[in-house]
Structure 1
Amino acid sequence: MAGVDEQSLDQFERERERERSKLGSNEEPRAIGDGNVLACHGQRSLSLYPNGNEHDNGAKHISLYLSIEERDKLSNGRKDWKVDVNFKLFVYDQKRHEYLTIPDAAGKVSSFDSSKTRWGFPRFLSLKKFKDPSNGYLSPRDQSCTFGAEVFVIRPWEESFTLIRNPDNNTRRWSFTNWSQLGAHCYSDEFEIGKRKWKLLVYPNGIAARKGKSLSVYLEVQRLTGKMQVYAEFHLRVLDQLKHNNKEEKIECWLSASDPKGGKADFMPSKDLQKKAKGFVCSDTLMVEVQIHAVSAKQSLKLVGAP
């Protein structure tokens, strides 16, 4: 499961992640220095090459990059650290009061790590367009300009759960009476095992592709909502009431609100139920049992690296 830490443009302005870069009216832009760090916010910084980064095919353009700083703090001593982000870099059009925004490729996640600490655009904006007064990037009053970044840090999450092994009173048995008169499906009453609520569910004539051919038997977890999930290990049994030669199946599965039941559509052939000698249906009653061996308790989520 991923969370998103969003740095909005307005907040970016308030926290001064955008700085105004002063360029003297009689000077070339190089006066502020190639690769100059314009702004630094925590572990991120913005670097500008006013005449282009020629080593990155940025000649005759402004080159603008987002970098990771304070890498020692970020890595916490680990060599395999990584930060995934979506980001946009922009320059402010002071004439029209809008931003020229250059996003990274749509939907692309850029990964910063020890081998790649900087991402950006070597050809962010041509110097010809940048210096053209009609575009409004340079203020006619003081030859200042404004660059910035909008950063979405994609924060990984760890998911964990506690597995309860052999919970107390982990076996339940239910008698489905008037078996010959049951409809398409039938539930047991609700019961509790391992701090979860459950019901047994049978389809006397089968379900889906096994309809008319098999008895279908399931254990169904109750009261799950949203994206809740439960892991369970259990045995389902149809009891032989004469010779105790029970029919059983072991099930291991994840259950959810959208798919709450675990079991088998082809639990046993329908013809076996019709044979009195088999002992599965006696006095028009079928007996089903479940024994839960393990069930997950409440799940927890936390940010990777969080205490």
Structure 2
Amino acid sequence: MSRPIPIEEMVRVFKSRHRTSHLFKIDNFSLFKKYQLEKVNSSVFDLGGHKWTLRVFPNGRKNASGHYVSIFLMSQSSVNVKIEYELFVVSQLEQKWESSGHREFGIHPKPTGKGNPKLISLVDLERNGYLIGDSCMCGVKLHGIEPAESGTAECFSLIEKPLNHKVTWMMTRFSSFEPEKAHHSHQFVENSSEGFINNASKTETYAKFKLRVLDQVNRNHVEKTCSGWLETSKGFADFMCLTKLVEPYLVNDKLYVGVDFEVVSVATYC
């Protein structure tokens, strides 16, 4: 099954025709099942004078009739007017979408979510041209609001073994480090494509990675695997006992620690 036009052109045309919409393209769709990711959130976007995110359950929620992709529109603050919205998945074979229909997002004093837990079955997603080349396009359109110059769109993807997936920090003069104080390496960006840093959308980052203390003699490193959404730091408070920080790990007052990414999420505007 192949697309009639490249997906990048589809995104461009969609934004020009649907100027009150936000498109959320998910690449490497099958990796969400492989890494058992239940859901993914878009970046925060502005439509109709309010800020929103999309929450997608790509692996589907199961009921008696099968697995269904679920999509929800999440407000980020109070909503003071009634807004008509439509959630959808875009066909990559013809100009149509699978829609939840027009629904009303009522007045809510606090952030909340509205959506469809059974937007489309996983079977129909794959069989009817909504999932091609391991890419899927979903989104939301608001009705009855002033259109912008263009709709907006972003791409979210999981990347296995990204470029420069190993990062090592050499801690010199280790004995001078205060034992009760946290110490930090320089910041680094685990990017997977050129232009990612300048074109990155502000979404949560998912990663599965190994934290490591390097054996400088035998290369028998101490490693532990961690995974999850990196809203804050993730790791192990009891990674390695300080009494074990001797040779071959600590040599000439130098200690090497690092991280090895197995998979990391990438988000860009498109």
> Which structure has the bigger radius of gyration?
1
| Larger strand fraction of residues | 1
TM-score normalised by structure 2 residue count: 0.40
- TM superposition score normalised by structure 1: 0.36
Q: Which has the higher contact order (CA 8 A, sep 6+)?
A: 2
